[in-house]
Amino acid sequence: MEKQKVSDYFGCMVFDDRVMKANLSADVYRSLRKTIDEGAKLDIGVANAVAAAMKDWAVALGATHYTHWFQPLTGVTAEKHDGFISPSPDGGVIMEFSGKELIKGEPDASSFPSGGLRATFEARGYTAWDPTSYAFIKGKTLCIPTAFCSYGGEALDKKTPLLRSMEALSKQALRILRLFGNKTVKCVRTSVGPEQEYFLITKEMYDQRPDLRFTGRTLFGAKSPKGQEMDDHYFGVIKPRVAAYMEELNQELWKLGILAKTEHNEVAPAQHELAPIYTTTNVATDHNQLMMEIMQKVAAKHGLVCLLHEKPFAGVNGSGKHNNWSLTTDSGVNLLSPGETPYENAQFLLFLCAVIKAVDDYQDLLRLAVATAGNDHRLGANEAPPAVVSIFLGDELSAVLEAIETGAPYKGIEKTQMKLGVDVLPKFNRDTTDRNRTSPFAFTGNKFEFRMLGSSNSIACANIMLNSAVAESLKIYADRLEGVEDFETALHEMIRKTIKDHKHIIFNGNGYDDTWIREATEKRGLLNYRTTPDCMPHLLDKKNVAMLTAHGVYSEAELRSRCEIMLENYCKAVQIEANTMVDMARTQIAPAVEAYTMELARTAAAKKALDAGLACGYESRLVKRLSVLTDEIADRVEELESAVAALHGAEDIQVQSFAIRDGILPKMGELRLACDEAETLTAKRYWPFPTYGDLLFGVR
């Protein structure tokens, strides 16, 4: 039986432009497109017509309920389902859905994080339809992407500030384009393609690991005899079970209009990657949240578990989410495309300089936008960039900027033809830039790749800060250039000054080198916020509050709430990990080690009983070491438990976060060292849960 073509079912569960065009009147369709494309006010009559068409389409596909699908400050999505049914006079029901129900919902906001924006007894919240992100069907439910706000109008979600930042950037970018004579462009959109890394392990082994079930990462685990040393997993042949998972995952994502494109094995055993095609940042954010949910659901159907934690296993690569970001006009022009002669492309150079200035001026915002307890374990390790933010431009653009700064003539970069030494192989020109995998923020041809995001992060936070910072740079440029008599001279001087003032953020070398970290902090004055408690309070620095409020991205109250929530999430996550470690060490690991120690002691005693002169050195030495480790584990557990208990006396969340960073995390590390050594000395039949070797190589 012939399989259905992807083109036949792609987007079949999405109320997209094709469906709207087919199910709405011409007038309603035009009005809705004007709202989507130009931000025009939505008419209630149009909303009613859209709601009726949306309901009929969804019911025809088996939907019985609808939900306002939103992204609260929990890091995951939320939904409350309501049926389409309404009572009819004859005792039956009719299927109804009005424009009012489409554009506004009233979920209870009392239990979502608010960071002090509202009291617990102030329960009312509102969801508002986002017509720029298409509705879709998930299971039997029509999901309507929405923004989420409090009764007082404060944003309680990640979508609202993201949309504000996109609007702010478009406004300032249009001012710049008008200076270059472009009068036709109506908006500038940021586009994102987030690459998603993840691990797959068997459900059976996952269920035996309380640390994975409660925290998403292994809190204990001795190094496997084989890890990623051979580099044989990277781009290797995909195992049949994983391939079957990927095939079904693609099908489910394609039905929802998600442009899943690339799939492959990543560096670590059991690690993989999925990358979509670029789309508008708001839609890409919605799609990525949906993608993570579906990845986990499909894995369960295959007897697998998809791990999205940034560092589920120590000693092998963790998982990130590379945020490929670009700027495009509504006419399809990529403003970060240098063209064949970037030295002569003044518009490109100005937008490039705006990004460089933004990243330098707001290093702290970019760093804190990716700060989580999980990502703190990943940043600076061998697979992730350091916590120091820098920009990689490559040889050609670096040479262009140097020539502009110094006033020297630009000689260009000679194109090098790749000669592979075999006549039948094609010849092609080498790119003028390499891909620097150690750089946090790398230019990769016509976009920037922000590599610091953790695999479980919402991409909204990073793009909010990036959009806002670039909007600020463009505003400064537009304020200076509008009304000048000699535009070209003023433009050249401003580009030259930007290069001179901000070139210290540009680094094309190895970001993993310790000498770079010293150079970055000691000579260049770049920031190095290694942990979440280090960077998160800087959200409230005067310059950051001034910029974000001036562009209308956040109110000051909303910023304070985010700082509170992020630090609280950090503290809660680590406390859950610490409590899990205490429980596992006390109720599983210590008893297992003690039981094996007793077996060894009995074996030694039996040998002596058989022959007083029989050597029992092996058993005696091992019993002695395991006894020491058992006592050490008990001591470390008590110390960790006491440190966690002491946190309850600290009411200030920032004080708690520092206590966790400086006290609890080191104690967790000490407990792990003792337990991991005990694992290497204890017979496998006694060890209470699957080892790293089992987990990393268990999917066949």
DSSP states of 589-653 = IHHHHHHHHHHHHHHHHHHHHH-TT---HHHHHHHHHHHHHHHHHHHHHHHHHHHHHHHTT--SH
Encoded tokens for 435: 């891909």
Q: Look at the block and give the residue holding tokens 């998930």.
A: 138
Evaluated on CA atoms 377, 390, 521, 368, the torsion sign reads negative
Domain assignment present for 564: no
pLDDT band at 88 (very low <50, low <70, confident <90, very high): low
CB 578 within 8 A of CB 664: yes
Domain assignment present for 73: yes
Fill in the amino acid letter for 57. W
Please state which of the ranges 224-233, 282-291, 418-427, 494-503 shows the lowest mean pLDDT.
Answer: 418-427
Domain match, 367 and 493 both: yes
What does DSSP assign to residue 536?
Answer: G
Closest to 470 measured CA to CA, from 576, 351, 390, 568 = 351
Fill in the amino acid letter for 70. F
Domain match, 506 and 580 both: no
Cα 365 from Cα 367, distance rounded (Å): 5
Supply the pLDDT for residue 619.
Answer: 81
Domain match, 278 and 351 both: yes
Q: Kindly report, residue by residue over 239-253, the tens digit of the pLDDT.
A: 999 999 999 999 999
CATH for 15: 3.10.20.70
Encoded tokens for 383: 């697979």
Question: Of 554, 584, 609, which marks where a domain is finished?
Answer: 554
Domain assignment present for 608: yes
Domain match, 33 and 141 both: yes
| Mean pLDDT within 35-61 | 89
Q: Kindly report, residue by residue over 596-649, the tens digit of the pLDDT.
A: 999 999 988 887 776 665 666 778 889 999 999 999 999 999 999 999 999 987
Domain match, 585 and 666 both: yes
Task: Spell out the long-range contacts of 107-113 with Cβ–Cβ below 8 A and sequence spacing 24 or more.
Answer: 107/68, 107/70, 107/78, 107/80, 107/148, 109/148, 109/150, 109/151, 109/156, 112/72, 112/73, 112/74, 112/78, 112/148, 112/156, 113/72, 113/73, 113/74, 113/156, 113/565, 113/568, 113/569
What does DSSP assign to residue 380?
Answer: T
Domain match, 487 and 458 both: yes
Domain match, 396 and 270 both: yes
Supply the pLDDT for residue 121.
Answer: 55
What does DSSP assign to residue 664?
Answer: I
Supply the pLDDT for residue 434.
Answer: 52
Question: Of 157, 184, 204, which marks where a domain is finished?
Answer: 157
Cα 341 from Cα 410, distance rounded (Å): 11
pTM of the entire predicted model: 0.93
Domain match, 514 and 609 both: no
Please state which of the ranges 1-10, 506-515, 677-686 shows the lowest mean pLDDT.
Answer: 1-10
Distances (CA, A) of 576 to 113, 310, 373, 580, 691: 18, 16, 11, 6, 21
Beta strands 65-69 and 141-150: pairing type?
parallel
Task: Spell out the long-range contacts of 411-415 with Cβ–Cβ below 8 A and sequence spacing 24 or more.
Answer: 412/343
Supply the mean pLDDT for the chain: 90
Supply the pLDDT for residue 428.
Answer: 45
| Mean pLDDT within 365-388 | 87
Please calculate the CA angle 103-106-108 and round it to the nearest 5 degrees: 150
Helices (H), 302-345: none
Domain assignment present for 179: yes
Cα 132 from Cα 454, distance rounded (Å): 26
Question: Of 507, 526, 554, which marks where a domain is finished?
Answer: 554
Q: Kindly report, residue by residue over 132-155, the tens digit of the pLDDT.
A: 999 999 999 999 999 998 877 888
Supply the pLDDT for residue 651.
Answer: 78
Supply the pLDDT for residue 649.
Answer: 74
Supply the pLDDT for residue 427.
Answer: 52
Q: Kindly report, residue by residue over 271-326, the tens digit of the pLDDT.
A: 999 999 999 999 999 999 999 999 999 999 999 999 999 999 999 999 999 999 99
Supply the pLDDT for residue 341.
Answer: 74
Supply the pLDDT for residue 530.
Answer: 92
- Which phi-psi region, left, alpha or beta, contains residue 339 (left: φ > 0; alpha: ψ -120 to 50)? left
Domain match, 664 and 536 both: no
CB 275 within 8 A of CB 195: yes
Supply the pLDDT for residue 617.
Answer: 77
pLDDT band at 98 (very low <50, low <70, confident <90, very high): confident
* Cβ neighbour number for residue 407 with a 10 Å cutoff: 8
Q: Look at the block and give the residue holding tokens 């209009």.
A: 257
Domain match, 497 and 456 both: yes
Q: Kindly report, residue by residue over 117-135, the tens digit of the pLDDT.
A: 665 556 678 889 999 999 9
Domain assignment present for 533: yes
Supply the pLDDT for residue 326.
Answer: 96
H or E element in which residue 290 lies:
helix 281-301
CATH for 285: 3.30.590.10
Containing domain of residue 266, as a range?
A: 165-213+232-554
| Mean pLDDT within 421-445 | 66
| Mean pLDDT within 558-577 | 95
Q: Kindly report, residue by residue over 379-429, the tens digit of the pLDDT.
A: 865 567 889 999 999 888 888 888 888 887 766 656 555 555 555 555 545
Cα 576 from Cα 637, distance rounded (Å): 14
Cα 699 from Cα 648, distance rounded (Å): 42
Distances (CA, A) of 457 to 15, 70, 277, 452, 465: 27, 16, 19, 10, 14
Distances (CA, A) of 33 to 38, 142, 165: 8, 21, 21
In angstroms and rounded to an integer, the radius of gyration of the C-alpha atoms of the chain is: 28
166, HSE (Cβ side, Cα atoms, 13 Å):
30
Domain assignment present for 560: no
For residue 1, pLDDT beyond 50: no
Closest to 520 measured CA to CA, from 390, 397, 402, 401 = 390
> What are the beta bridge partners of residue 265?
272
Supply the pLDDT for residue 29.
Answer: 95
Domain match, 640 and 545 both: no
Domain assignment present for 277: yes
Encoded tokens for 177: 């384009």
CATH for 625: 1.20.120.1560
Give the distance from CA 245 to its chain's centroid: 22
Structure-model confidence comparison of residues 381 and 49, the more confident one: 49
* Cβ neighbour number for residue 10 with a 10 Å cutoff: 18
| Cβ-Cβ contacts under 8 Å for 613 (sequence gap 6 or more) | none
Cα 83 from Cα 95, distance rounded (Å): 8
Supply the pLDDT for residue 114.
Answer: 74
Distances (CA, A) of 417 to 191, 339, 398, 425, 555: 32, 19, 21, 13, 53
H or E element in which residue 198 lies:
strand 188-202
Q: What are phi and psi of 263, to 5 degrees?
A: -140, 140
| Mean pLDDT within 663-672 | 97
Domain assignment present for 106: yes
CB 126 within 8 A of CB 71: no
Closest to 374 measured CA to CA, from 249, 197, 237, 586 = 197
Evaluated on CA atoms 313, 435, 196, 361, the torsion sign reads positive
Torsion of CA 652, 657, 663, 668, to 10 degrees: 130
Q: Look at the block and give the residue holding tokens 């919902």.
A: 105
| Mean pLDDT within 64-86 | 89
Domain match, 615 and 663 both: yes
Number of domains in the chain: 3
Torsion of CA 439, 443, 448, 452, to 10 degrees: 0
Cα 673 from Cα 635, distance rounded (Å): 13
For residue 329, pLDDT beyond 60: yes
Cα 661 from Cα 666, distance rounded (Å): 8
